[in-house]
Every structure is written in structure tokens, then in C-alpha cells.
Amino acid sequence: MRTVKKAKRMQSLAAGIKRDGRTIAFVPTMGALHEGHLSLVRRARKLGDIVAVSIYVNRTQFGPGEDLKKYPRTLERDKRLLRLLDVDYLFLPDDSEMYPSGYLTYVETEGITSVLEGKSRPTHFRGVTTVVAKLLNIVQPDVAVFGQKDAQQAIVISRMVADLNIPVKVIVAPTVREKTGLALSSRNRYFSPEQIRRASCIYHGLKRGRELINSGVTDSKKVVSEILRIIDDAEGTTIDYISINDANTLDHVRKITREVLISAAVELDGVRLIDNIKAKPGRTGC
Ligand code: AMP
């Protein structure tokens, strides 16, 4: 695995790969890698001749008071894991490479970024779309793989790629979970096994919501209040939102008649966690 720190260098390597007629599959991450990230890398391995992964903790997607400074950083371990998966290139820029002095340009996707995570974290998606647009320009992948764990992010990025005519195929891979059901997240590192068990109430709540929808409940308020009850019952939880939205447009849904995304943002002992599950009336979602 070759580590590349400079954008120009990465771009010229990517151009060489393409000249040779080979394809690039790319997985952008913020590091502190876990099985969820690694599942995306394995998927990328099947999708392209060359696999590139980036590790960059992007400060523009963190709001004031969020955990940028204490975001987990485990670079040496991450490198070992990526080598084991036969990753070809690790793009590892620093802040001055991504946002050099005089930097003035941001990418914004409207509408779908003002609900759910965007409502709670108003500057978050502007940071995400900006950094992902930059990374796609630098790595020039044919395919980029994102996780369903951050469902809204995947929808926003797909919209940006379509709107800006970026020549990349966006693939969304399933959420990888702990045995208890808790979605894997770099932030789970902050937790003890006992906290992981408590945090699993989020998944149990979402699953119960899906069951209700599958069994014919169409009133989203009813479904939300049942999920709320389950998550609220667990010790140390503070709910930011539980929401049922159209799975494609993210429009808020009152009466459930088509595929929906049930999403939740919950603080457990001060650590903010998000998760989601899809559900269709009358059948099991993924
Ligand atoms: P992050 O490092 O948190 O920015 O995540 C990098 C990529 O990994 C994003 O596309 C995430 O959606 C994805 N990801 C994070 N957690 C999981 C998970 N538990 N299962 C699948 N993908 C995930």
C-alpha cells in the first residue's frame, strides 16, 4: 500500500492508472477504522482494479462544540488493517493540503440538507459535500463506496454527484452492526461493553418501528412514539430526533404508504449516535 499525502501527486497517480485502462474504487473515511469501514473496502475491492482509501478528519463538517479535537485517531492500526485488505493507495492529506491558506470555496446541496442531521447540525453537510467533492476530484474514482449507516449523507452525495456531473458511480453498502445490534461507529470506541449494550436500544427501537410498519401501521406518529418509548426507557439516553421520511427524497412522511427511512439521533452518556433502518409497508426492509 502506498501512502500519498499530496493532492497533486494523487491526481497524477490516478491519471496514470486511468491511462493504463484500469478502474479506481474509492472509500473516503475519517479513520479510526472498524468493520463497517472495512466492509466498504472489501466491496470496493470487487468494484475496481485499484482500491484507494482516504483518511482525513474533515474539520469543516464538525460544528462548534462538536468532538473534532477528541475524534479518535488510530493511524498506525488503520494502516495495518488497510494493508491486510490489499488496499493500493491510502490518501492521507493534512489540513493545509485540503484547506490551504486563502481557501474560499464550498459546495452546498440545498433542501435535503436542512432536515434530520442537517437540522441538528446546520453546517455539517456543507463540510461533507465540500470535502467529498474535493476528494473525488483528487482521487478521480470510477466508483465510490459509502455506508447506509449515514443514510442522509449517501443521499446528499448522490444528489451532489448528479447535480455537478461528477463522473463517478456512488454505491451504498449496508450497515455493519455489533452483535447487540448497535451500528458500528468510530465513536463506539468511547464506550464500555455495558454502554454498548445500553446503546443498542437505538437499533431495537428502530427494529420495532419497522415491525409496526410491516404489520400495517401507517400513522408515523404512532410508530415514532413507540420507538421513543423504547429508547427513552434505556438509561443515559437523550433523544435528538426520531423521524420517518421518504427513503429517496427525505420528505417527512405522515401516512406510511411507501418505502420510508426511520432514523434516530440519540446521545448516550454525552456521545451522539445516529442510526437508521428502511421499512416498507407490508414487507421487511434492509
Ligand atoms: P466515517 O469515517 O465515519 O466518515 O465513515 C466513512 C464511511 O464509512 C461512510 O461512508 C460511512 O457511512 C461508512 N460507515 C461508518 N460506519 C459504518 C457501518 N457501521 N457500516 C457500514 N458503513 C459504515
Asked about 37 being catalytic, the answer comes back as: yes
- CA–centroid distance, residue 137 to ligand 1 (Å): 20
Locate the ligand 1 atom nearest the alpha carbon of residue 176 and give its number: 20
Does the pTM surpass 0.85? The reply is yes
Domain with CATH 3.40.50.620 in the chain: 2-173
Percent of the chain with pLDDT over 90: 97
Domain with CATH 3.30.1300.10 in the chain: 186-277
Categorize the per-residue pLDDT at 283 as very low, low, confident or very high, splitting at 50, 70 and 90: low
pLDDT at 190: 86
String of DSSP letters for the chain: -EEE--HHHHHHHHHHHHHTT--EEEEEE-SS--HHHHHHHHHHHHH-SEEEEEE---GGGSPTTSSTTTS---HHHHHHHHHHTT-SEEE---HHHHS-TT--------STTSSTHHHHSTTHHHHHHHHHHHHHHHH--SEEEEEGGGHHHHHHHHHHHHHTT---EEEEEPPPB-TTSPBP-GGGGG--HHHHHHHTHHHHHHHHHHHHHHTT--BHHHHHHHHHHHHHHSTTEEEEEEEEEETTT--B-SB--S-EEEEEEEEETTEEEEEEEEEBTTB---
Predicted confidence (pLDDT) at residue 90 exceeds the cutoff of 70? yes
CATH of domain 2-173: 3.40.50.620
pLDDT at 282: 82
Locate the ligand 1 atom nearest the alpha carbon of residue 32 and give its number: 2
Q: Which of 37, 124, 204, 252 is catalytic?
A: 37
CATH of domain 186-277: 3.30.1300.10
